[in-house]
C-alpha cells in the first residue's frame, strides 16, 4: 500500500471478522474500530472518528456485496486502495464438540453462500448473522453444542472456539476484494511501470443507445473496463447511474480522451478514486 499509515481503521462486524483480519494485514499494529453496519463504518470515517474504512465489495465465489454498491453513491468518501484477502472459512464450535453434534451453523450470508455445498453435504442448517465473527460470539455465549459458526481462524482464537474443519468453503482460491475508503481524495502520481484502477460514477438519460455511446470512447481508446455496475438513483426508474472501474490513471492520454467522450453523452460524472492495482489482479 502506498497510502499513509492511518491512526484508526473502521470495519463492519466484530473483532475477528474478515474485515478485521484484512485491517491487520494491510495496516499491522494499527488500532481498529468495529462498527455494526457497513454504513456505520463509512460514517465513522466521514465524521473523522477513523481515518479509513476497510469495506468488502465482492467475493470470487459468492459475487458482489450488493449493499456496498448501493452505499457508494451516497458516501462522500474516496477509494484510496484495494486489498484481496484469501478466505479460509473455518467451521468452529465449543471446545469438546464433535462434528456430528452440529445441526446449525451461523455466519454472514456471503460466507454461508460460499460454504453451501459443504453445509448441505453434512446436513447442517445455515443461520444468517450480521457478520462471521458475530456468529462465533454467539456460539461462545450460547454454550449450545449443536450450534456452530463459520468464521476466520482469528475469530476461533479470540472467542476460544474449537475448529472442526478448516478451508470449509466449497471452492479453492476463494478470495474477497476490499476497498479502502478515506475522506481525502488522494490521487497517486502516475508512474509508467505501475498499473492503476480508476473508479467513477456517471448517469445517462433513459434513451436508446445512451450507454453504448457513453462507453464507446473507452473501447476506441483502448481503455480496459474491468467493472460496470448499474443503479436506479432515487427509485424513480427514469435514469440509470453506473459505477465503473477502469485499468487506467486519469493522466493516461487514452483515459483523458475516453473521459472527454464520456462527458458528451453522460452527466453527473463523479470520480470515486484512483489507486494502485493490487498484484492479485495479475494472477491467472
Where do the structural domains in the chain lie, given as residue ranges?
9-87+175-182, 90-165, 196-282
Phi and psi, residue 49, nearest 5°: -85, -10
Q: Which fold, 196-282? A: Alpha-Beta Plaits (3.30.70)
Q: Diameter of the chain by CA atoms?
A: 66
What pLDDT is attached to residue 234? 63
CA-CA-CA-CA torsion for 18, 23, 25, 28, nearest 10 degrees? -140
Q: Which fold, 90-165? A: D-Maltodextrin-Binding Protein; domain 2 (3.40.190)
Q: What average pLDDT score do residues 246-270 get?
A: 93
Residue in the block written with cell 453527473: 268
Q: Say whether 196-282 and 9-87+175-182 share the same fold.
A: no
Domain 9-87+175-182 coded CATH 3.40.50.2020: no
**pLDDT tens string 27-72:** 999 999 999 999 999 999 999 999 999 999 998 877 888 888 888 8
Helix (H) or strand (E) run with residue 260 in it = helix 253-265
**pLDDT tens string 102-135:** 999 999 998 999 999 999 999 999 999 988 999 9
Q: Which of 140-144, 216-220, 237-241 has the least mean pLDDT?
A: 237-241
Looking from the CA of 84 toward its CB, the CA atoms found within 13 Å total 13
Q: What average pLDDT score do residues 194-217 get?
A: 88
DSSP state of 193: T
Q: What average pLDDT score do residues 148-159 get?
A: 95
pTM beyond cutoff 0.85: yes
Judge whether residue 268 has pLDDT over 90. Answer: no
Nearest to 139 by CA among 42, 16, 226, 44: 16
What pLDDT is attached to residue 62? 76
pLDDT averaged over every residue in the chain: 91
What pLDDT is attached to residue 232? 73
C-beta separation of 105 from 124 below 8 A? yes
Judge whether residue 237 has pLDDT over 80. Answer: no
Residues with catalytic roles: 176, 178
What pLDDT is attached to residue 233? 65
In the structure, what pLDDT confidence band is assigned to residue 283 with cuts at 50, 70 and 90? confident
What pLDDT is attached to residue 2? 44
73 vs 195, more confident: 195
> How do strand 9-12 and strand 52-59 relate by DSSP bridges?
parallel
Q: Which of 133-137, 189-193, 239-243 has the least mean pLDDT?
A: 239-243
Amino acid at each position: 500500500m502506498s497510502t499513509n499509515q492511518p491512526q484508526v481503521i473502521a470495519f463492519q462486524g466484530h473483532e475477528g471478522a474478515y474485515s478485521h483480519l484484512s485491517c491487520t494485514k494491510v495496516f499491522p499494529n494499527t488500532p481498529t474500530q468495529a462498527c455494526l453496519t457497513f454504513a456505520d463504518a463509512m460514517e465513522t470515517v466521514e465524521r473523522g472518528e477513523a481515518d479509513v474504512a476497510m469495506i468488502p465489495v465482492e467475493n470470487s465465489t459468492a459475487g458482489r456485496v450488493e449493499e456496498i454498491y448501493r452505499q457508494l453513491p451516497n458516501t462522500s468518501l474516496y477509494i484510496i486502495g484495494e486489498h484481496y484477502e484469501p478466505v479460509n472459512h473455518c467451521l468452529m464450535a465449543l471446545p469438546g464438540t464433535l462434528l456430528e453434534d452440529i445441526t446449525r451453523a451461523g455466519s454472514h450470508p456471503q460466507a454461508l453462500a460460499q460454504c453451501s455445498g459443504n453445509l448441505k453435504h453434512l446436513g447442517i442448517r445455515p443461520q444468517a448473522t450480521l457478520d462471521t465473527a458475530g456468529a462465533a460470539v454467539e456460539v461462545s455465549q450460547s454454550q449450545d453444542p449443536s450450534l456452530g459458526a463459520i468464521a476466520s481462524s482469528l475469530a476461533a482464537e479470540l472467542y476460544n472456539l474449537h475448529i472442526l474443519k478448516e478451508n470449509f468453503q466449497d471452492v479453492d482460491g476463494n478470495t474477497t476484494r476490499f476497498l479502502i475508503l478515506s475522506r481525502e481524495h488522494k490521487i497517486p502520481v502516475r508512474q509508467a511501470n505501475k498499473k492503476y484502477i480508476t473508479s467513477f460514477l456517471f448517469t445517462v438519460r433513459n434513451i436508446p443507445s445512451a450507454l453504448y455511446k457513453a462507453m464507446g470512447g473507452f473501447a476506441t481508446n483502448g481503455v480496459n473496463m474491468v467493472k460496470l455496475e448499474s443503479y436506479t438513483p432515487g427509485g424513480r426508474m427514469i435514469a440509470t447511474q453506473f459505477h465503473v472501474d477502469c485499468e487506467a490513471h486519469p493522466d493516461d492520454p487514452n483515459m483523458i480522451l475516453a473521459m472527454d467522450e464520456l462527458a458528451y453523452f453522460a452527466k453527473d460524472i463523479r470520480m470515486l478514486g484512483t489507486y494502485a492495482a493490487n498484484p492479485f489482479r495479475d494472477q491467472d
